Amino acid sequence: MKSEELEYAALLPILSRYSPKGRTESANFLNWFLENIYRLDETTADDCICDKENDKGIDGIYVDDNASEILFFQAKISQKANRTLGDKVIKEFLGSLQQFETSEKIEIILLGQANDDLKRILTRNNVAGLIEKGYSVKGIFLCNSERDDNTLEIEKVIENISIFCASDIAESFVDFDADEGVDGNFSFDTSYAGVVNLHIDAETEVFLLPVSAMQLVKLSGIHDGVLFSQNVRYSLGNTAVNRSISKSVADKDEHKNFALYHNGITLICQNAIHEDETLTVSNYVVVNGAQSISTFYKNSANLTPDLRVFVKVVALKSSELSRKITINSNNQNSIKPRDLRSNHDLMLRLRAEFESKQDEYVFVIKRGQETDENKIAISNELAGRELLAFDLHESNLCHQIGKVFDDRYAEIFGRHEVTFGRIIFTHELQKLVSEALEKLENKAMANYSLTRYFLLSVLGQIIRKFPEGREFLANTDKLNSTDDRKKVLEKIPELLIDLIVDLNYELRAKDHAFDYKRELKSTTEIKSLTALLLQSYEKEYHKGKAIGFGEKLG
């Protein structure tokens, strides 16, 4: 993104998707910022906003439990290009923040005439109670203009306000293309049996026709997967469905019957024109049929003109309808919650971050996605489980993948601090945990998947016991830095040795009836065992026998 794209005339179209909410332009700007820069999911971002009359100068509030901070947002939009920020609005915002510095001041606001949205957010998040617990109050000011000398001067003396000007926002924005597919045209021969044409409405038209597999394999984007980029999953490899398709392709006597067995292929495009026995589509993507077309492509030598499948071509303008078609047309293999999230903004943004920010890892967001064998692949499924354990301390739920992409999806991925660096860090921690588990005496438990997530959760709680550990986990710049991650990871193996020793001791103390499969799925038992390990760790640390987190984190 360029700073010029945040000028008023260019910004309004970007914010237009938020207009139906009936809020001010500045509230829409904040909504966009929270989703695209602060990385919150759309529901959480919406819940933060309180930009209405008598909002005490506050447009939004977000509680960052990871950093123990309460963030107060204010957004300003300048309608004039080249206008600079100055320092007046920053001083006014500083005054607004002072109204929320203590729990007593917040109680006064709750009893006063502040707008209901503001009161609800303060109450819902128990902001007064969090301040009493030691949470700090910080401000974030965002605008679509740039700093001037006065802005730079005031930034030197204020410590609890971060300013995001147009250039900061543009630099922080991670660009991704949610409407992927093949750019260009492709023409289908319709002379074999003609076309059934349905006009759904002014913006949607459907064409149904039998197409030769020999023609389908000529579609662009098969080899690199671009053709299937909006599909909720790619070809799933050697599944029963794919084996069945391959078997039918190999038997040329069965080619004439193939269309009788096959559910068909769905192709979505921006435009389609049928004339002179040719259907020409432009800017297209296959949203159902990746497995079939991929199998045809790999078995091109066995194809004959008799092998045809029905293709449904949908020319439309609505991206929302496109998503519905994608979901509802996939029925040859069961759709999982992960599949339905594969094209979600949070997943696409993280994938784009992995691609643009580093070269060692690749983030896999779809089943069947091919990856560079020279890179370390981290699936969003594995990343979600690791974050669920390390950040949310719910290792007992890590065997329920539905929790990752359904119930807890927003809490896991829809947080400001979930960057490519955090995912890499937790993944590397998990690898160290797996190596350390070789020392666990109960070998069956050592190889039980929930054991790894349990120890990852305990490890996260130990790191957070130290100010330096909490600072590292709250600092996205450090988490995104290979060198800073390495400094922390170097300390982990020694810490894990002590943890495994303590766990062995606790397990020996239990009788032979100990059922680790049940215990590791129980919230109560997990908390009890975690408390014992943390207590043992603290004793050893205070005796100087266990490693901590201090000067090396610098």
Q: 497: closest CA among 540, 536, 446, 439?
A: 439
Q: For 135, which DSSP code?
A: P
pLDDT computed for residue 202 by the predictor: 83
pLDDT computed for residue 235 by the predictor: 46
Q: Are residues 509 and 380 in the same domain?
A: yes
Domain count, the chain: 3
Amino acid at 421: G
Q: Which long-range contacts (CB under 8 A, 24 or more apart) does 518-521 make?
A: 520/395, 520/396, 520/448, 520/450, 520/451, 520/454, 521/396, 521/399, 521/450
Q: How far apart are CA 501 and CA 533, in angstroms?
A: 10
| Listed residues 172, 196, 221: the one ending a domain | 172
pLDDT computed for residue 258 by the predictor: 81
Q: Are residues 284 and 363 in the same domain?
A: no
pLDDT computed for residue 215 by the predictor: 94
Q: How far apart are CA 109 and CA 491, in angstroms?
A: 46
Answer yes or no: is 483 within a domain: yes
Spatial strand order of the sheet with 204-212 comes to 182-189, 278-288, 265-275, 308-316, 204-212, 196-201
Q: How far apart are CA 112 and CA 499, in angstroms?
A: 51
Answer yes or no: is 177 within a domain: no
Its domain, for residue 422, covers 345-553
Q: Are residues 152 and 79 in the same domain?
A: yes
Q: How far apart are the first and last CA of the chain?
A: 33
DSSP characters over 266-281: EEEEEEEEEETTEEEE
Answer yes or no: is 252 within a domain: yes
pLDDT computed for residue 409 by the predictor: 87
Answer yes or no: is 319 within a domain: yes
Q: Are residues 201 and 73 in the same domain?
A: no
Q: Are residues 262 and 349 in the same domain?
A: no
Taking only the tens place, the pLDDT of each residue in 411-444 is: 899 888 999 999 999 999 999 999 999 999 988 8
CA 321 vs. chain centroid, Å, equals: 22
Q: Are residues 448 and 547 in the same domain?
A: yes
CATH number of the structural domain spanning residue 39: 3.40.1350
Answer yes or no: is 47 within a domain: yes
For every one of its 554 residues, what pLDDT tens digit does the chain have, with 9 covering 90 and above? Answer: 788 889 999 999 989 988 888 888 999 999 999 988 888 877 788 888 887 777 788 999 999 887 888 999 999 999 988 889 999 999 999 999 999 999 999 999 888 888 888 888 898 889 999 999 999 999 999 999 999 999 999 988 998 899 999 988 888 876 654 456 788 999 999 999 889 999 888 888 999 999 999 999 999 888 777 787 665 444 444 444 445 666 767 778 888 888 777 778 889 898 999 998 999 999 898 888 887 888 888 888 889 998 999 999 999 876 666 666 665 655 444 545 565 566 678 888 898 899 988 889 999 887 666 778 889 999 998 999 999 999 999 999 988 887 888 778 888 998 889 999 999 999 999 999 999 999 999 888 888 888 999 999 999 999 999 988 999 999 999 999 999 999 999 999 999 999 999 999 988 887 666 778 888 988 999 999 999 999 999 988 888 888 887 644 33
Q: Are residues 131 and 218 in the same domain?
A: no
Q: Are residues 330 and 357 in the same domain?
A: no
pLDDT computed for residue 140 by the predictor: 93
Q: Are residues 208 and 139 in the same domain?
A: no
Q: Are residues 215 and 296 in the same domain?
A: yes
Q: Are residues 81 and 104 in the same domain?
A: yes
For residue 491, the SS3 value is: coil
| Listed residues 149, 172, 195: the one ending a domain | 172
Q: Are residues 20 and 120 in the same domain?
A: yes
Amino acid at 193: A
pLDDT computed for residue 462 by the predictor: 93
Q: 460: closest CA among 388, 391, 404, 521?
A: 391
Cβ(265)–Cβ(289) below 8 Å? yes
Q: For 333, which DSSP code?
A: S
pLDDT computed for residue 238 by the predictor: 44
| Listed residues 275, 306, 335: the one ending a domain | 335
pTM here is: 0.66
